[in-house]
Amino acid sequence: MAEDRIIDKITSGEYKEGFVTDVEQDLLPKGLNEDIIREISRRKEEPSWLLDFRLDAFRRWQKMPMPDWAQLDMPRIDFQDIIYFAAPKKDKDRPKEIDPALAQTFDKLGIPLNEREVLAGVVAVDAVFDSVSVTTTFRKTLSEKGIIFCSFSEAVREHPDLVRKYLASVVPPSDNFFAALNSAVFSDGSFCYIPKGVRCPMELSSYFRINARGTGQFERTLIVADEGSYVSYMEGCTAPMRDEQQLHAAVVEIVVEKDADVKYSTVQNWYPGDAEGRGGILNLVTKRGICKGSGSHLSWTQVETGSAITWKYPSTILKGDNSSSEFYSVAVTNNLQQADTGTKMIHLGRGTRSRIVSKGISAGRSQNSYRGLVRMGAGAQGARNYSQCDSLLIGSLCGAHTFPDIVSHNSSATVEHEATTSKISEDQLYYCAQRGIDPEEAVGLIVNGYAREVLSRLPMEFAVEARKLLQVSLEGSVG
Amino acid sequence: MGHGRYIDPFLERRPDYVIGQGEQLSLEFVILPGEDRSIDLGIDLAGEGASLDVKIVYLSGYSEKVDIKLLVHHRAGGCSSQQRIFGIASGSAQVGFYGKVVTAPDAQKTEASQLNRNILLSDAAQVRTLPQLEIYADDVKCSHGATIGRLNEDELFYMRSRGIPEAEARALQMLSFLSPVVPEGQQERIEAAVRSILPA
């Protein structure tokens, strides 16, 4: 039974993805300047417009202050003490093959790099190891339908027109400090284009792995769903256990054209640091989609269990009339983890609808904040938003916070926001204890029930993974 | 033991009201049309079992600026607070609400609720609301809610189909919306104010 396996996994409960793969790596020297950016661009054999884009972003970034408005104790980041590019060395004799050590790494993480069926069907994977994409599976099957799914670097080489048209169209380099940094030094990520009227036959998935010490990962993902198309995209991530903190500053852009439907799911399981708060990933991410055409739909689902610090607000601009978007989130923090996460729903078009369901769980000495923005523009006739943000506290040393910002400029729009904060009730624990369920397991059960509305939105593979993660993350938080 | 991010909100400013053990404080405000108003209150629930009840009603129909800031600090355990801020914005009124509830690490058994409801009658008017919860104790029941919306068309239709003129029906809807926060003895003033800001 799957259930038994899950419980077995819980009892072992440490960060099982924390190993390091020993591969020879090609590293750029530490530090950030225009020469480093030129070198990244040269290694990736990029066209000159992209180098100019990077340099322009870098110059803007140098003038920007690091944001400090979040409810986070952010360590000082020395941007000159980071390696901005790390790639596993290619074996010259067989460049077409994947290095067996890398294949093994992904296999250990449960990510199939050979094209085989997993649990509930077929998933195409783009696997990113430090700064480069290792492989993308099922490309042939997908290309028969006209779907482009490849690493970002490849897209730049093979589909420059598409990349140039959509890159930075949703998140401009000047958007914020970390988006500017990413625009200057982004390494690899996924590119996905679904042509008009095509329903993507399988789940697309990107898996990000940080391996090299002292590096930062700057993923750049661009998803374009043309008129009437559909795609479900999943993203997962892990990193080794280390005492120093590592930076992950990604930008994800999603363009949803008329009547298209995009479902974006994340299970974020970066290394959270140890119980004393040493190490862990600083996950500082800008994710934004635009529902460009009428009737378009974008759905965000995220399960955030990892990272020492999470700073992430997947957002939707509802521009097309009658477009709609949802944000479903579970964020778990334990020990000394800090999360400041939420969403923005910017209603511009008529009849646009959005729904926000956020479930925060804080344990240990962690701090967990929901931060959201709902804006009803002057043109958002009859627009509708509903937000529900719940926080669950486990233990008396953690904090749970809610910071919504709601603005309406339209008398026909309706916005509703609701938030509650409470703890697991003694009654619930008592009930479980009566039935012989120990407290730790009972908390796992209750938390899973509490987060169910969000977990049920995840694709099958992810849902199983997410349930396990929730339990592991809360390990040791009771008693 | 130190607690992550918790900072006493009354380190830098003095509270306007301090509620001691077992004491109760009730505050009521009425903001009428034509009135620019800025309310900025800090309230410290400092003694065990203290309780707070805040009711604010605003009616703005011209080009008023209404700015309401509430900072409620649950310093002691076993306290309860309730805040209700209801209002209607029409004309080109600009209404802002910022309401923060902080529950200190030791303020167990806190019960705090805050509800901010707004009706927007014209596109030129604007409402912005920022309800904030900062909770550092676990055995608490804290909630907040905020809405910005319009008058219900079904209700209006129901009343009109029973021969109630449109303006009267709208006035009734607005009065019923505000009724939970209208202070005793203020009914007539509010009624007059509601009729004065009805869009033509």
Closest chain A CA to residue B148: A415
pLDDT tens over chain A, length 479 residues: 343 444 344 333 567 777 777 777 777 888 889 999 998 898 888 999 999 999 999 999 999 998 888 888 888 888 888 888 887 766 544 445 667 777 777 776 666 666 554 444 556 777 777 766 767 777 788 888 999 988 888 899 999 999 999 999 999 999 999 999 999 999 888 899 999 999 998 888 888 777 777 778 888 999 999 999 999 998 887 777 777 788 889 999 999 999 999 999 988 888 888 888 788 888 999 999 999 999 999 999 998 888 889 999 999 999 999 999 999 999 988 888 999 999 999 999 999 999 999 999 998 889 999 999 999 999 999 999 999 999 998 888 889 999 999 999 999 999 999 999 988 888 888 999 999 998 888 888 888 888 888 888 887 767 777 777 777 777 666 54
Contact A411 B150 (CB under 8 A): yes
Contact B145 A418 (CB under 8 A): yes
Contact A421 B120 (CB under 8 A): no
What gap in Å lies between CA A146 and CA A144, rounded to an integer? 5
Residue B69: pLDDT over 80: yes
Query: Does A417 contact chain B (CB < 8 Å)?
Result: yes
Q: Using CB atoms and an 8 Å cut-off, which of residues 240-269 of chain A contact chain B?
A: none
Contact B133 A402 (CB under 8 A): yes
> Which of A402, A425, A477 should we substitute to test contact with B (largest number of B Cβ atoms within 10 Å)?
A402
Residues of chain A contacting residue B134, judged by C-beta atoms under 8 Å apart: 71, 399, 401
| Predicted pLDDT at A30 | 85
Q: Is the residue at B3 inside a domain?
A: no
What gap in Å lies between CA A134 and CA A127, rounded to an integer? 6
Contact A393 B144 (CB under 8 A): no
Report how far apart the first and last C-alpha atoms of chain A are (Å, whole number): 29
Distance in Å, alpha carbon of A322 to nearest chain B alpha carbon: 18
Facing residue for A414 by CB, picked from B133, B137, B149: B149
What gap in Å lies between CA A418 and CA B142, rounded to an integer? 11
Q: Are A274 and A310 in contact (CB under 8 A)?
A: no
Residue A6, C-beta contacts closer than 8 angstroms, at least 6 positions apart:
A464, A467, A468, A471
Residues of chain A contacting residue B121, judged by C-beta atoms under 8 Å apart: 411
Facing residue for A414 by CB, picked from B3, B131, B150: B150
Q: How far is CA B183 from the centre of its chain?
A: 13
Identify the CA nearest to A165 among candidates A292, A263, A279.
A292
Identify the CA nearest to A102 among candidates A77, A135, A78.
A135
Residues of chain A contacting residue B118, judged by C-beta atoms under 8 Å apart: 408
Q: Is the residue at B73 inside a domain?
A: yes
Query: Does A382 contact chain B (CB < 8 Å)?
Result: no
Tell me the residue type at A226.
D
Query: Does B92 contact chain A (CB < 8 Å)?
Result: no
Residues of chain B contacting residue A406, judged by C-beta atoms under 8 Å apart: 128-130, 146, 148
Residues of chain B contacting residue A68, judged by C-beta atoms under 8 Å apart: none
Facing residue for B133 by CB, picked from A409, A412, A421: A421
In the structure, what pLDDT confidence band is assigned to residue B2 with cuts at 50, 70 and 90? very low
Query: Does A408 contact chain B (CB < 8 Å)?
Result: yes
In the structure, what pLDDT confidence band is assigned to residue B155 with cuts at 50, 70 and 90? very high
Query: Does A397 contact chain B (CB < 8 Å)?
Result: yes
Reported as a single tens digit per residue, the pLDDT across B4-32 is: 578 899 998 999 999 999 999 999 999 99
Contact B141 A421 (CB under 8 A): yes
Query: Does A420 contact chain B (CB < 8 Å)?
Result: yes
Identify the CA nearest to A454 among candidates A348, A341, A286.
A341
> Which of A421, A422, A428, A477 should we substitute to test contact with B (largest number of B Cβ atoms within 10 Å)?
A421
Facing residue for B138 by CB, picked from A393, A411, A416: A393
Query: Does A44 contact chain B (CB < 8 Å)?
Result: no
Q: Is the residue at B43 inside a domain?
A: yes
Residue A359, C-beta contacts closer than 8 angstroms, at least 6 positions apart:
A329, A330, A331, A390, A391, A392, A450, A451, A453, A454
Q: Using CB atoms and an 8 Å cut-off, which of residues 300-359 of chain A contact chain B?
A: 338
Distance in Å, alpha carbon of A69 to nearest chain B alpha carbon: 13
Contact A401 B126 (CB under 8 A): no
What gap in Å lies between CA A237 and CA B124, rounded to an integer? 46
Q: Are A306 and A271 in contact (CB under 8 A)?
A: yes
Contact B148 A378 (CB under 8 A): no
Q: Using CB atoms and an 8 Å cut-off, which of residues 104-133 of chain B contact chain A?
A: 105, 108, 118, 120-123, 125-133
Query: Does A402 contact chain B (CB < 8 Å)?
Result: yes
- pLDDT, greater one: A120 or B140: B140
Q: How far is CA A1 from the centre of its chain?
A: 30
Q: What is the 3-state secondary structure (H, E, C) of chain B?
A: CCCCCCCCCCCCCCCCEEECCCCEEEEEEEECCCCCEEEEEEEEECCCCCEEEEEEEEEECCCCEEEEEEEEEECCCCCEEEEEEEEEECCCCEEEEEEEEEECCCCCCCEEEEEEEEEECCCCCEEEEEEEEEECCCCCEEEEEEEEECCCHHHHHHHHHCCCCHHHHHHHHHHHHHHHHCCCCCHHHHHHHHHHHCCC
Residue B3: pLDDT over 60: no
| Predicted pLDDT at B23 | 96
Contact B130 A408 (CB under 8 A): no
Structural domain for B32, as ranges: 17-150
Facing residue for B139 by CB, picked from A73, A410, A423: A423
Reported as a single tens digit per residue, the pLDDT across B184-197 is: 999 999 999 999 98
Query: Does A391 contact chain B (CB < 8 Å)?
Result: yes
Residues of chain B contacting residue A422, judged by C-beta atoms under 8 Å apart: 140-142
Contact A419 B6 (CB under 8 A): no
Query: Does B199 contact chain A (CB < 8 Å)?
Result: no
Domains: count for chain B: 1
Contact B135 A420 (CB under 8 A): no
Q: Is the residue at B175 inside a domain?
A: no
Residue A294, C-beta contacts closer than 8 angstroms, at least 6 positions apart:
A258, A259, A320, A321, A322, A323, A349
Q: Is the residue at B167 inside a domain?
A: no
Which of helix, strand or coil describes residue A450? helix
Residues of chain A contacting residue B101, judged by C-beta atoms under 8 Å apart: none
